[in-house]
Amino acid sequence: MLVKAKPISYTMISSYNNCPWMFKAIYIDNLDQYKVKTDALVIGQTIHTIIEEFINNWKVKLTASPQKLLDEAIQKYLPTLKDGLKDEVIGILNNLDLGIIEMLRGKDVESEKAVALDINLNPVDFFSPDAVWRGKFDFVWIDEFLGARVVNILDFKTNREATADPLQLQFYAFLAHHYYKLEPVDMVNLYFWYLRQEGQEAIIHTTAKYSEHVDEFIAMPAKLFEQSEYPATPGEHCRYCSVAHHCPLVKDLAKSPEQVQSKNIEELVDAYLPLKQALNIIEAKINEALEQKEEIEGAFVKVKRKEYNKTVLDEQGLREYLKSADIPADVLWDSVSITQTLFKKLGLKIPEEYVTKEVAYRIEVVNKDI
C-alpha cells in the first residue's frame, strides 16, 4: 500500500513504535481531528508557553528578577486554564530551579526552533512541501569550542518520571547535524529538563552519537508509510491515545453481551486499556457538549448534567487529626490517602471542620421511550 507520506517527526515514530494502528489512524486516516485535549496535554502546552515567554523576556531584561519575570508569565497565561489545572501548573513552576536558567545567560538562545530536512538531508523551510524530516527544539543555542561547533538543545518535560527516550535524543541529533551542517566530529548536547523534579537531578544530559542511527532514520519514510498492515498493539500508551474510541479492539467489543462473553480472557485483557481510554474520551466529549446544551439525545438514550454536592476533605488537617487518635502505626502512614472509606473502616466520624461541599456535575443517562 502506497500513501502520500507526511514529514516525519519524533512523535510520529514514537506513535508507530507504540502502536502501528494508532499511527495509521492519526497520520494516514486523519482520525485525530476528533481528539479531545487531555488535562496532561493542556498542562504541558501551558507550561511550555509560560517558560518560553519567561526566558525570552529574561534574555532582554538581564537585570530584572527572574522570579518576577516568571510570575508575570504565569499570571498572563494562568487565566486560560480551568480551575482544576491551575494549582498543578503553579506547583510545577514553583518547583523550577531558576539557578539552572543561568546556563543560558549570554547565549544566543532560540526558542521553539522549527527545523526540517529534505530527501537529500539539506535544510528546508519547516512547511516546505519538500520537508521529509522535521522537529521543533524547545530551546537551542550554539557554542564554539576549539574550532568545533557544539549544538545545545534543551527540551522541557512535564512527565512525572524522569525517563529520557533514547529515540528522541537520537532523532534530535540527526536533525541538528544536518540542519546546522556539522562535521561528524562536531557535537550535539541534549538536555531534558524534568520540571517536576528538583535541583540538578531534574536535568538529564546526553552527548548524542550521531552516526549510529543515520540509516534507521533515512529508511523511516518507507517503514511508516508503505506497510501492508498496521496492527493494534495495546499497552500503557492507550491511556493517552486520542483515537482510542476508533480502535478495532474497542469496536470489536461493541457487540451484544453474548458476543463479548464468547471472547477468551486474553482477547479481553488486550482490549481493556483502549476500551477504558475510549470511555474516558467519550465522557469528556459529552461533558464538553453539556456545557453548551441542557441535554443531548442519541438513538436510544439521552444524557444530561446532574448537579450534586461533592465532598472535599482537608487531607492535611485530617492526617494530623488521625495522628492524635489511637490508630496503630501499621494502619496509618504519612502517604495514606485520606478518604471517607478510610474513616468508615477505622470506625471514626470525620469532624465537620475538615469537610467542605462543592457543587459538581456528573452525567445522567436516561432511557428514551422508543
Beta bridge partners of 357: 311
Q: How many angstroms separate the Cα of 113 from the Cα of each of 42, 176, 255? A: 21, 11, 48
Averaged pLDDT score across all residues of the chain:
82
Give the separation between CA 194 and CA 183, rounded to whole angstroms: 30
Predicted confidence at residue 209, as pLDDT, reads 63
Q: Mind listing the pLDDT tens digit for each residue in 183-218? A: 766 788 888 888 887 766 677 777 766 656 788 888
pLDDT at 85 over 50: yes
Predicted confidence at residue 369, as pLDDT, reads 56
Backbone angles phi, psi at 70, to 5 degrees: -65, -45
Largest Cα span, the chain: 80
* Of the candidates 358, 359, 362, 357, the residue with the CA atom closest to the CA atom of residue 306: 362
Torsion over CA: 169, 203, 77, 138 (sign): negative
Predicted confidence at residue 336, as pLDDT, reads 67
Task: Convert 185-235 into a string of H (helix), E (strand) and C (coil).
Answer: CCEEEEEEEECCCCHHHHEEEEECCHHHCHHHHHCHHHHHHCCCCCCCCCC
Q: Which of the residue ranges 25-29, 48-52, 149-153, 329-333 would you say has the lowest mean pLDDT?
A: 329-333
Predicted confidence at residue 116, as pLDDT, reads 96
Taking a C-beta distance cutoff of 8 angstroms, is the pair 294, 324 a contact?
no
Specify the higher pLDDT residue, 360 or 157: 157
Predicted confidence band at 3 (pLDDT cuts at 50, 70, 90)?
very low
* Cβ neighbours of residue 61 closer than 8 Å, sequence gap 6 or more: 69
pLDDT at 226 over 60: yes
Using DSSP's 3-state secondary structure scheme, residue 273 falls into helix
Residue % of the chain over a pLDDT of 70: 89
pLDDT at 16 over 90: yes
Give the separation between CA 184 and CA 172, rounded to whole angstroms: 15
Element (H, E) at 115: strand 110-117
pLDDT at 368 over 60: no
- Mean pLDDT value across residues 95-115: 80
- Mean pLDDT value across residues 142-147: 81
pLDDT at 29 over 80: yes
- 187-189-190-194 Cα dihedral, nearest 10 degrees: 170
pLDDT at 163 over 50: yes
- 33-36-41-47 Cα dihedral, nearest 10 degrees: 90
